[in-house]
Amino acid sequence: MLPSTRLAICLPLVLIGSAACAEPDWSKVAVRDITVFHAGATPIEWISSQHPGASIVKAGQPCIICHETKKGLDYTAKRLAPREPEAQAMPTTVSFPVSVQAAVDKGTLNVRLSFKPPADTKPGSDAENDLKAAIMLLDDKVPQAALVGCWASCHQDMRGMPGGDAKKGKYVNAGSFELLQWKSGKSPATLPAGVQVKSGKEGDKTTVTFSRKLGGNVVEGRSVPFGIAIHVNRAAGRMHYISLGYRLGIGGAAGEVQAAK
């Protein structure tokens, strides 16, 4: 799960007037639709033990092997609500699609999310932001990152989980992941070097584009595990919609989402 951290990268719903923010021609970039869903209080421990697919993950196969290619995406309130102790937390719409595009241009990785936020979700506690969108990029050193994506960072005793420790955050070390987050409301005036984010509207859809200079763990020829999180209607903490784990293939590397030049 993707609660906000000190690594979050945020800008309001405006375009940045800078030549460095020039985007690729998205009409020429392939689209990969990824379903995000409200998972309730579902930590990695449940996935690794009680979940019917636990043996598949233990065998080294990713979650999407079953949820996409065999059984299909079955995210319904009946299936998800039993693992959510806060009765009012489950939204009426438990899943929706996010169109994902990625491209490398002039030494910069661009990842574009396009989605229509559901209108029937219950209001949350984030008074500053009606909407947030994020991607988490993980290093290979994060256990099971290539199989479960950002779920590897969500354990049952972390803050926000039922009975969790308010002092415990993600189960990932600084430097082993990047959380790039856009917020619709007020945000810091500065950004880390080499990273920018733009947003806009296309009809009833919100578009958010993250641009990051290649370098570190994000370089051509690498498959980078990643996940998506969308906070809707002022949702905060774990009360968000999230994706399964996917791989971002940069410059021809293997991945469900391809970031080609």
pLDDT of 231-241, one tens digit each? 999 999 888 99
pLDDT of 125-144, one tens digit each? 999 999 999 999 988 788 88
Question: Nearest-CA neighbor of 241 among 109, 88, 75?
Answer: 75
pLDDT at 43: 85
9 pLDDT above the threshold of 50: no
Residue 244: Cβ within 10 Å count: 25
Q: Which residues contact 230 (CB under 8 A, 6 or more apart)?
A: 36, 98, 115, 117, 131, 132, 133, 134, 240, 241, 242
Quickly state the pLDDT bin for 18 (edges 50, 70, 90). Answer: very low
Task: Give the whole-angstrom CA distance, residue 255 versus residue 250.
Answer: 8
Q: Which residues contact 155 (CB under 8 A, 6 or more apart)?
A: 43, 44, 45, 161, 168, 171
Task: Give the whole-angstrom CA distance, residue 125 versus residue 243.
Answer: 22
pLDDT at 70: 54
Task: Give the whole-angstrom CA distance, residue 81 versus residue 59.
Answer: 27
Give the residue carrying structure tokens 């039993």.
82
pLDDT of 48-97, one tens digit each? 888 888 898 889 989 888 887 655 556 665 666 666 777 667 788 888 99
Question: Nearest-CA neighbor of 211 among 126, 115, 106?
Answer: 106
Domains of the chain in sequence order: 30-260 (2.60.40)
Mean pLDDT of the chain: 83
pLDDT at 23: 81
Quickly state the pLDDT bin for 189 (edges 50, 70, 90). Answer: very low
2 pLDDT above the threshold of 50: no
Q: Look up residue 196 and give its amino acid.
A: Q
Question: Nearest-CA neighbor of 23 among 111, 95, 141, 94?
Answer: 111
